[in-house]
Every structure is written in C-alpha cells, then in structure tokens.
Amino acid sequence: MGLATLLDQYGIFKFNWTTPDIAGEINILYGVYVFGWTSKDIGHLLAIACATKAFTLMILSPIITRRFLQGYMGFRTLKNQFDMIDFTMAFCAFILEAIGLTCMAMAPQTRFFFGSLLFTSFGALASPALNSSTIKFYPESKVGEVFGGLSLLKNVFALVGPTVFLTIYKKSVLSWNIPYVSFLVGASLMTLMAILLVFAKRLLRLDKNLDPMILTRSNSVASLQSLIDSSPNNSKQRYQ
C-alpha cells in the first residue's frame, strides 16, 4: 500500500503543476516580464500548449503504449500490480517535462520558449499511467471511493498550489531578480519523482519478464458475519 500512496502523490503533484492555474499563469507572467509578450504571443502560447497536449494524449499515447511498449518492447499489462508499461510512461513523462522546464528557464527568445513546450507536453502521459496504476492496489468495489478521495485532494492542492508557486515566482522576481526559479523548482521536483520511480522499480524488481504476483482484488467488502466466522475463537467452538 506504500507504493499506492506514492503513486497518489505523484498524480496529485502532476495535476497541480500542469493545471492552467499554475503553469499557464507563470508562463504568461514570465513571458510578459522577460520577453515583453503581447496578447498575440499569449494566444500563440495557449494554442501551442493545448494542441501539443491534446496530440500527445489522443495520438501519441496509444501508439507508444500499443505499438512500442507492448508490440516492440514486449511489455505486458499486469492487472494487480505496477508494471513496466506504467513505469516507462511515467518515467519518460517526468524526465521529458523536467527537460522542458529546464529549457524554458534557459530560453533566450520566445521561439525557444515555445519549442520547450513540446517537451513539457509529454508530461501529460504521466497522469493516465499513474491513475491506472493506483487502482490496481485497491479492491474493485473501492475504485469509486479512491477516485473520489483523489479528486478531493486534487481540488485542495489546486487551491494551495497556485499560491505556493506564484509566491515563489514573485519572490524570484522582486528579491532575487531570477524570474526562472519557478521553472527550475518544477524541473527539480519532476526529476525527484523520476528518481523515486526508479527506486520503486528496483524495489519491485520490475522487468518485462516479470510474472504477475499472486494477488487478488476483492470484488466486495467482507461482511461482519464472515469476519466473525473466521475468528480464532469461533473456529475453536466448531471443533469442540
């Protein structure tokens, strides 16, 4: 259950960094402050960001999963545990987004900044992989409750996240005169997540030849009577 909690936290942070309330606002503020953007440039930013993420999720994601990971690499989908497909998708998403955020921090011109968005768009691959991984650790009867709890946490972090990152951006501009600090903070956190994923992979000894663990997902919640019947005291009374 520890890995499930870790995946939940990955998904929550990933949601908050990529939500328009954080990344979009900081990108716009940074572009206006550093490059002197106009409304036309902001429109180009929003169009590129939305188009690349939609292309990544709707076209690239199925191709990468089915043609490359399952077809060429031979990875198998495991229903009851974290598998190599989940790991590869999430790991590549975090690394590519970290590269994109670093390139955005170092971009000397607007066109290079826009080009960096192509890397950050691959970060959208992490959320589906993490969501599918999370539900593998819970009974099928609890999937609705799990996603309900995650939605609640995401909404809470959606309120706190913008305040934290905008505060970092404000501090970096007014006090440090280094406006790109927020991008480096995001890149550092993405890199940390990738490192933790590698640690989880080593802990679980994941590879494409891994046999599924003997795990079962309960279809229903155990009743109180079944728990009483399986208690040690009740078993002793049966044999007396």
Give the CA-trace dihedral at 105, 111, 114, 119, to 10 degrees: -70
Q: Could you tell me the fold of the domain covering 2-215? A: Growth Hormone; Chain: A; (1.20.1250)
Chain segment 50-89, per-residue pLDDT in tens: 999 999 999 999 999 999 999 888 888 887 788 899 999 9
The model's pTM: 0.77
Question: Mean per-residue pLDDT for 94-99?
Answer: 95
Q: Of 185, 154, 193, 189, which is closest to residue 168 (Cα–Cα)?
A: 185
Higher-pLDDT residue of 93, 1? 93
Yes or no: say if 130 and 139 are a contact pair by the CB < 8 Å rule: no
Question: Mean per-residue pLDDT for 160-181?
Answer: 90
Q: How confident is the model at residue 216 (pLDDT cuts 50, 70, 90)?
A: very low
CA distance 2 to 6: 6
Per-residue pLDDT at 211: 63
Query: 């989940």: which residue's tokens?
Result: 86
Phi, psi of 158 (to 5 degrees): -65, -25
Domain ranges (residues) in the chain: 2-215
Higher-pLDDT residue of 137, 41? 41
Phi, psi of 74 (to 5 degrees): 80, 25
CA distance 197 to 193: 6
pLDDT at 175 > cutoff 80 = yes
